[in-house]
Structures are given as C-alpha cells and as structure tokens.
Amino acid sequence: MHKNKKGLNILKTAKGQVEAVVKMLEDDRYCIDVSKQILASISLLKKANAQILNTHLESCVKDAVKSKNAYEVNEKILELEEIMCYINKTL
C-alpha cells in the first residue's frame, strides 16, 4: 500500500462537511440546504475514491506488472474488475 495524501486530504474535507451536515440537522436547518450539503459530501467521497484508485493503478498495479508475476497481475485485474462492478451499481 502506498501513501495517498491527496485522497486523505479530500476525505478530511468530506469529514468536515459531514460534521457540518450533522450540525445543520441538529440546528433544524432547511431540508433543501441540508440535502445540497449531503450531495456535496457524496461528490467529495467519489472524488476521494477516484484519487485512491488512481494511486492504486500507478503504484500497486504497476508494481505487479513490473514483477512479471502472472498470478499477482491477474489478482490486481480481478480486484479492479470487482470494484468497477460495484461502482457501476452505485451510479
């Protein structure tokens, strides 16, 4: 596993945004405003996921290919196929 500072920073921003949404609900704020903030949080989570997957491709998958270990390469491909199926279900 490789460090993913960009992904971590995006997730920290999303965490702050979710905490703000909770506060909005506690303060009985207007539902549409709350919903907009929830959608913004979801967008940040998707962005973080894309960043983390990009780092995975650039590091873990490249390392597997460089190793020329067919089992390891196949394992990485299967992992990516699995996550892509999950992403497609959530769109």
pLDDT for the residue numbered 3: 80
CB 11 within 8 A of CB 42: no
At residue 2 the predicted structure's pLDDT band, cuts being 50, 70 and 90, is low
Q: What is the pTM of this model?
A: 0.85
State the DSSP code for 4.
-
Instruction: Name which residue leads in pLDDT, 13 or 3.
Output: 13
Spatial distance between the Cα atoms of 41 and 18, rounded to a whole number of angstroms: 6
- Which domains are present in the chain? 5-90 (1.20.58.1000)
Does the structure show a pLDDT above 60 at 51? yes
CB 54 within 8 A of CB 46: no
Does the structure show a pLDDT above 70 at 86? yes
